[in-house]
């Protein structure tokens, strides 16, 4: 037994070192301890004031008032996270799109839906500490999810998604303009832009990345799914009409409602639907990420387009992992809307094209989360057997956030975020050409280096861990006998922590602690 125990400890120690070998390097690990946040969201923006990011017309007031009000201009805003103390001006940018079912929280019947959702803040903070600039953006919302006719629901949702894509393209152009004309206030490289969508944002990131022209919308195997038919319309009419809705990129010209569009939407004749912003700059991005969501049609994804990193729950009841009907959660329950293609189908299509082959350039031994991935596809990480069959286990609600069905287990959600960020990091390095230092190693520290003390050990309840004030613990994680991470604590930055036993069973565990100068792994036993 003693020999086995020694062998196990050696095995697990090697496993953990392998999984953390790529840490403590820019874009691979959190190398900054603090971030700067520039807030431009609903808590700090005067809607009447111009936004440097742009503005466009929203249907939300019209929908909320049941057609009594016309269109209103809404500023495009973002909360921008950047590493504190970083002087580089060529940093990659992530445009991060929150979820929300295209309707404001809490009317969306969801546990989230704002720029300050707990998961948004966690992702943005972690990525900024890794050296990225992250813009958590808002976009225009508003549709009618409760219309009794599925075709009408589809019409309103397709229009909402179209406006969202317009906004996404506008943000991309703004950031490119900010470098070319505004003195690069965010310190970014305009050629290294990633769009990252969560939930509803996943639909927008995918459509923005792979839907490049208006005619492409209807160039599918099933074009009728985007067509209004009689008796709802006088004839077969596209659900999105460029002459009214504006161009896909929202670069102009100004569009207005006429009698025909009024008959379809009830929006007053003469109202503006779309205005141009940041004209003259391209909408090119370098990488796309989706966590859930889907693409309106798989045919929109073609050979030679940007790489894609996908995360999806295989049993997602709302956004299908394959090609199936999208169900939008609402306050009255899920509403079927339209057939879409999820991450698994997109991954298969990407594999045929070779669009994700760049990920093969990750050096061997530096992709521990890729080894764990069970999807069988490059760039697609599939989650299975999630708690309570959650479709978004990386999300959690604040303690005061209704409804009661919302996940409030932040620690559990953060373990999924650990995996997502760990899987993203090396792929972004090779896709964006970030010249990440895959070859440097992490220094192994000894107890004396940090004046480590742990007691009691073995323990029946909690274990106290202390180090010197000069070498605080930045983060730590707990691994079980199989090497599975069971706990993860980030942004600790403390010289004293308490490892709470809570639901941990009797047995041997390994605690891996991250310090400024390296890592230290210790065995603990609960009895």
Q: What is the mean pLDDT of residues 202-206?
A: 98
Q: Rounded to two decimals, what is the model's pTM? A: 0.80
- Given a contact cutoff of 8 angstroms between Cβ atoms, the answer to whether 513 and 496 are in contact is no
Sheet holding 463-466, edge to edge: 453-455, 463-466, 496-499
Mean pLDDT of 256-272: 91
pLDDT at 24: 44
Residue-wise pLDDT for 448-476, tens only, equals 999 999 999 999 999 999 999 988 998 88
Q: CATH 2.40.50.140: does it fit domain 2-20+441-526? A: no
Whether the predicted pLDDT of 229 surpasses 80: yes
Q: Does domain 35-432 have CATH number 3.40.50.1820?
A: yes
Q: Where are the domains of the chain?
A: 2-20+441-526, 35-432
pLDDT at 350: 96
**What confidence tens digit (pLDDT) does each residue in 407-426 have?**
888 989 999 999 999 999 99
Quick check: 9 pLDDT over 90? no
For residue 369, pLDDT over 90 is answered with no
Q: Which tens digits make up the pLDDT trace of 111-152?
A: 888 899 999 999 999 999 999 999 999 999 988 877 888 898
Same fold, 2-20+441-526 and 35-432: no
- The tally of CA atoms less than 13 A away on the side-chain side of residue 195 is 28
Query: Residues of the chain with pLDDT > 70: what percent?
Result: 91
pLDDT score, position 397: 86
Compute the radius of gyration of the chain from its Cα atoms: 24
Q: What mean pLDDT is reported for the chain?
A: 88
3-state helix/strand/coil string of 353-408: HCCCHHHHHCCCCCCHHHHHCCCCECCEEEECCCHHHCCCCCCCCCCCCCCCCCCC
Report, as an integer, the average pLDDT of 78-88. 95
pLDDT at residue 336, rounded to an integer: 83
- 410 φ, ψ to 5°? -65, -40
Question: How sure is the predictor about 18, in pLDDT bands with cuts at 50, 70 and 90?
Answer: very low
Average pLDDT over residues 376-398: 91
Top-ranked range on mean pLDDT: pick from 22-26, 85-89, 207-211, 216-220? 207-211
- pLDDT at position 403, please? 62
Around Cβ 70, how many Cβ atoms within 10 Å? 17
DSSP-assigned letters across all residues of 229-284: -TTTSSS-EESS-HHHH--TT--S--EE--HHHHHHH-PPTT-EEE---STTS---
Which residues on adjacent β-strands are paired with residue 80? Answer: 38, 135
Q: What is the pLDDT of residue 10?
A: 45
Give the pair of three-digit tokens for residue 189.
């490289």
Q: How far apart are CA 461 and CA 454, in angstroms?
A: 13
């Amino acid at each position: 037994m003693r020999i086995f125990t020694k062998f196990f400890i050696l095995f697990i120690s090697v496993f953990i070192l392998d999984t953390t070998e790529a840490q403590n390097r820019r874009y691979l690990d959190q190398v900054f301890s603090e971030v700067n946040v520039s807030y431009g969201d609903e808590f700090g923006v005067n809607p009447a004031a111009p936004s440097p990011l742009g503005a466009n017309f929203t249907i939300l007031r019209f929908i909320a008032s049941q057609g009594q009000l016309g269109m209103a201009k809404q500023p495009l805003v973002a909360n921008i996270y950047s590493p504190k103390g970083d002087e580089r001006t060529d940093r990659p940018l992530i445009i991060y799109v929150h979820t929300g079912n295209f309707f404001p929280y809490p009317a969306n019947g969801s546990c989230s839906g704002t720029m300050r959702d707990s998961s948004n803040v966690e992702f943005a903070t972690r990525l900024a500490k890794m050296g990225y600039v992250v813009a958590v953006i808002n976009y225009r919302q508003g549709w009618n999810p409760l219309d009794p006719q599925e075709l009408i629901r589809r019409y309103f949702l397709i229009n909402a998604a179209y406006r969202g894509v317009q906004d996404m393209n506008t943000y991309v152009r703004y950031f490119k303009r900010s470098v070319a004309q505004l003195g690069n206030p965010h310190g970014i490289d305009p050629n290294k832009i990633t769009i990252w969508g969560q939930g509803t944002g996943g639909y927008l990131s995918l459509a923005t990345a792979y839907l490049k022209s208006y005619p492409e919308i209807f160039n599918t195997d099933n074009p009728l799914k985007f067509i209004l038919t009689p008796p709802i319309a006088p004839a077969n009419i596209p659900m999105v009409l460029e002459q009214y809705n504006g161009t896909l990129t929202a670069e102009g010209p100004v569009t207005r409602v006429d009698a025909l569009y009024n008959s379809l939407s009830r929006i007053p004749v003469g109202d503006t639907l779309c205005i141009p912003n940041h004209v003259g700059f391209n909408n090119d991005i370098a990488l796309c990420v989706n966590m859930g969501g889907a693409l309106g049609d798989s045919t929109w994804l073609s050979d030679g387009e940007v790489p894609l990193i996908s995360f999806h729950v295989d049993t997602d009841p709302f956004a299908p992992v394959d090609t199936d009907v999208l169900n939008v959660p609402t306050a009255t329950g899920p509403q079927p809307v339209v057939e879409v293609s999820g991450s698994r189908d997109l991954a298969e299509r990407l594999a045929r094209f070779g669009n994700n082959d760049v990920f093969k350039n990750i050096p061997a031994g530096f992709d521990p989360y890729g080894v764990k991935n069970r999807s069988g596809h490059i760039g697609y990480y599939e989650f299975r057997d999630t708690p309570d069959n959650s479709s978004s286990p990386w999300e959690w609600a604040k303690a005061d956030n209704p409804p009661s069905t919302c996940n409030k287990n932040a620690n559990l959600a953060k373990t999924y975020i650990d995996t997502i960020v760990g899987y993203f990091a090396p792929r972004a390095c090779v896709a964006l050409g970030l010249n990440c230092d895959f070859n440097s190693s992490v220094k192994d520290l000894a107890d004396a280096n940090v004046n480590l003390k742990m007691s009691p050990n073995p323990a029946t309840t909690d274990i106290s861990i202390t180090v010197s004030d000069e070498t605080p613990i930045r983060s730590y994680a707990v691994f079980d006998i199989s090497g599975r991470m069971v706990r993860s604590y980030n942004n600790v930055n403390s010289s004293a922590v308490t490892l709470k036993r809570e639901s941990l069973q009797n047995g041997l565990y390994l605690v891996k602690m991250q310090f400024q100068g390296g890592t230290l792994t210790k065995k603990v036993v609960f009895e």
